[in-house]
A and B are shown apart, each in its own frame.
Chain A
């Protein structure tokens, strides 16, 4: 198939960017979206132009590196990661807009590549269980009821791609933050740090410049891993509980 691509080009964080238009031909329906961009980049390289920069790595939907807004949707029209989107989702002759994540807490590095280190700092503020190597009791010492284990797993599936932030009109990171809070807070191993975890992570999230949550729900719609919207309510409950319990 033949496509018209309108792609965000920006040399670096300082210079302003703009949309540039490219035509690509000979695209097969079995190609992934990123393989389609590979095709464009091969052509640009041979023409002596700089290829379009984009983040990608595992290309099997688990590393969370790929991060494109396609026709206005984070990760495009299917509920998956950009790397798992295939060209069979598009029609011959389509015009496709490709942009980076848009959020003030995710500044553009180049073209479609953004800086998501704010997510790492949210995890560093409390998204862990303090269990130094060598201190662990036997794995069966503390059984975890299956519903709790499943709840933890459902939230642990987050790949930290940032689609939730990109999709949110407020640029909020509530879904990302709540996924980690809920994963760890439901487990008995996470209980000792339950209050400080949610308070510190929410404070860090605010410090990073993410917007507030107005429960629009775009985040959960865009999430390729299906982190559910009630995750945010569960975190708010944790936060309220913690503010009552902890005096600092």
Chain B
């Protein structure tokens, strides 16, 4: 087997299915080109949807409304608990309700620029167009967005933009949007349009004659492994941030579905594009199991600072104003505390690396509301951010109304994911990926309040239009035979893996391996990456993998509710995905967005893109575990937003 870093460059990806013509008309063009399925025939088609977050919940409900038979899965006990629920700040839409110069074109422009020119223009423009319909849809469902006294919707600002286009429901926007999708899905479950399997986890994809025709899934209560068949499979399984162990992701969010699909032929794009969110609560010790995000909306009114002097360990309120460095306001006067996430995170890391960090271990910066409380009054601050302040106090035992919050960056979102074309189809015909599970819209850095927008755009509007075209062109009249070799192979591989995990009976817990790979990734594939560090990680990962299969200990059996087995099984996939992330980060010898290569920076320390060499999406094809993958490049063409070095100064 060739060395993992000796990857080969294969055929470029040339057809994205995005139509030609003016960017504002492409979505209409594509919808008109797409073949349709007659309403009476839709019920004859089964679509599997894996995941019930914003993308999956919205897609399942909408496909069932159209008349398709939907079979849907979530590993949680209820679809309402998918991790979209935890999104706090808001959802963007180009409504221009503030009359502050916003437009679809501006949201498109901001998103392409915010993504550091590594996203596909056609997709981003469609996202901006659909953003306005999403708000309408959610209000119709009863989502209780914040309103003003006149009864109309309120807005706020988020990082990387100069308009107020973010709709919100206090600090629980994700929860409220998810409940809207969950309730729409519940209506379809009640009417029989959706067959829901909760506490059931997808463990493999079934590809028959080159087309995705089903999945292998494990009932997490009984341990039973079953196969489910369909005419198309939709993955809405979220991101892979948990490869870092400590992240703001829910404990059970995982990469297994997308990684198994990748192993079955779906290309994985830009795996190294990880978002490190600047405003998380710093860790307190080795027991830490996850990190908690403080919504970016806090940067609307909070001011970020550190002491000017190194090693200044006085309490915040003893540091006089002229000895504080409001470094974001100083370096980026135009955007101030509202610079995009990648820039805010890196700036925090820089001041901490200089020895000016605050709190335990110097791994933190202040987010101070004293000025806001003085300006708006405590009551107004409480109304805007009350629940976030309460959460902060509960976790840290400090009162943010009197003592500045301490924050530090943490892994939050993954822009990379399964490569999809304009129709959201992966490279396996019949397999679609939506929401965070795909790679398409955020380039190398996602702007705040755009994840909810993309999840719902994909789920409510894009996929339900584009999947028609596939189903109309592939009217599967056959049912998949259980005894087909491809089915038997997928089931056998799943069973073998579970049996192997249970039989090693070593001396290390699943969590200990997860922590180890997570720490390695944070060290070498985190906020700043170097060739040297990435090569170290790439040498170490196969060793951890080998040790894993020698020393893992999973108590209990496979025929029962077994959370240790669930964890261990997910770690197997992290140990392969981590390798691809490091390789992708190594091969992309430029800095862009959240991917910062120390070797590629401007004289003043900003990320330096190298467009001549890297203006492409990197879509990787799997070959074998530990075997060098094949790189397929999709060249990115910018006709409307011309690449410039991003400036927020």
Mark A residues whose CB is within 8 Å of B.
11-12, 28, 30-32, 34-35, 38-39, 42, 44-46, 48-51, 53, 55-65, 78, 80, 84, 86, 88, 109-110, 113, 115-117, 119-120, 123-125, 127-140, 142-146, 149, 152-153, 156-157, 159-160, 183-184, 187, 189-190
Contact = CB atoms under 8 A, between A and B. Distances in A.
Contacts of A144: 147, 151
Contacts of B252: 57
Contacts of B80: 64, 120, 123, 160
15 contacts: A11-B560, A28-B285, A45-B564, A58-B81, A86-B397, A109-B561, A115-B77, A124-B186, A128-B186, A133-B65, A134-B133, A143-B152, A146-B148, A153-B176, A159-B85
B292 interface: yes
Interface string B201-230: 000000000000000000001000000000
B250 interface: yes
Given A57-B250, A63-B250, A12 B137 contact: no
Given A28-B287, A63-B85, A63-B250, 9 more contacts: A30-B284, A44-B555, A60-B86, A88-B397, A133-B464, A139-B95, A146-B151, A153-B176, A189-B142
B179 A156 contact: yes
Interface of B: 58, 61-62, 65, 76-81, 83, 85-86, 95, 97, 133, 135-142, 144-153, 169-170, 172, 174-176, 179, 182-184, 186-187, 189-190, 198, 221, 248, 250-252, 284-285, 287-290, 292-293, 391, 394-395, 397, 460-461, 464, 507, 509-512, 553, 555-556, 560-564
Question: A-B pairs with the 10 shortest C-beta distances?
Answer: A143-B151, A128-B183, A136-B140, A131-B140, A136-B136, A153-B144, A124-B190, A139-B139, A30-B284, A57-B250
A153 to B, nearest CB: 4
Contacts of B510: 45
Contact of A184 (B95, B142, B560): B142
Contacts of A46: 507, 509, 553
A227 to B, nearest CB: 14
A51 B563 contact: yes
A123 B189 CA distance: 10
B81 A64 contact: yes
A152 B142 contact: yes
A116 B144 contact: no
A187 B145 CA distance: 12
A113 B561 contact: yes
Given A30-B284, A45-B509, A183 B136 contact: no
A179 to B, nearest CB: 11
B83 A63 contact: yes
B236 to A, nearest CB: 15
Contacts of B139: 136, 139, 142, 189
A191 B475 CA distance: 41
A39 B142 CA distance: 42
A107 B198 CA distance: 16
Contacts of B553: 45-46, 48
Contacts of B391: 60-61, 84
Contact of A139 (B136, B176, B284, B507): B136
B169 A153 contact: yes
Main secondary structure, interface of A, reads loop
Given A30-B285, A123-B183, A48 B81 contact: no
Nearest to B512: A42
A45 B555 contact: yes
Contacts of B174: 62
A123 B182 contact: yes
Contact of B78 (A44, A119, A143): A119
Given A124-B187, A189-B140, A48 B62 contact: no
Contacts of A189: 139-142
Contacts of A28: 284-285, 287
A149 B147 contact: yes
Given A35-B289, A183-B144, A65 B81 contact: yes
Nearest to A120: B78
A119 to B, nearest CB: 7
A151 B608 CA distance: 49
B593 to A, nearest CB: 26
Given A58-B86, A61-B391, A63-B83, A140 B289 contact: no
B81 A35 contact: no
A110 B77 CA distance: 13
Given A123-B186, A128-B187, A51 B77 contact: no
A156 B564 CA distance: 34
B561 A117 contact: no
Nearest to A67: B77
Given A128-B187, A139-B136, A116 B563 contact: no
Contacts of B512: 42
A129 B142 contact: yes
A135 B140 contact: yes
Contacts of B145: 149
B397 A59 contact: no
B289 A120 contact: no
B151 A145 contact: yes
A88 B137 CA distance: 44
Nearest to A152: B144
B524 to A, nearest CB: 25
A189 B507 CA distance: 57
B283 to A, nearest CB: 10
A123 B248 CA distance: 28
A131 B65 CA distance: 10
A32 B137 CA distance: 38
Nearest to A49: B555
A53 B172 contact: no
A149 B340 CA distance: 31
A220 to B, nearest CB: 18
A157 to B, nearest CB: 7
A152 B555 CA distance: 46
Contacts of A115: 77
B65 A12 contact: no
A80 B394 contact: yes
B364 to A, nearest CB: 14
B141 A57 contact: no
Contacts of A140: 97, 152-153
Contacts of B150: 143
Contacts of B76: 57, 63, 65
Contacts of B251: 56-59
Given A45-B555, A63-B81, A133 B137 contact: yes
Contacts of A50: 555-556, 562, 564
A51 B564 contact: yes
Interface core residue of B140, B141, B153, B556 (most chain A CB under 10 Å): B140
